[in-house]
Amino acid sequence: MGKDFEHDHPGNWKWGIFYFNKKDSRLIVSKQIPMLGWTFNFAHPISFVVLALMIIIPVLWVFFVK
């Protein structure tokens, strides 16, 4: 998969680690250094839902499943 021109634009990276690009429809994008993995496009509305579920489910699991 090749990078698009918007991915490398520094204005799309908040604090250098959070990708935020409303023009990009992808939910998950590679990090600036692809060897480090993937990140969410925080301009995509579903990214916050997925992130919340990734936090809530383990917390609920710890408290309710023993």
Span 40-58, pLDDT tens digits: 999 999 999 999 999 999 9
The pLDDT value recorded for residue 34 is 86
Could you read off the pLDDT of 19-41 as tens digits, one per residue?
999 988 899 999 988 899 999 99
Q: The pTM is what?
A: 0.76
How far from the centroid of its chain's Cα atoms is residue 3's Cα? 16
Residue 59 vs residues 12, 39, 47, 52, 65: alpha-carbon distances, Å: 31, 22, 19, 11, 10
Average pLDDT over residues 6-25: 88
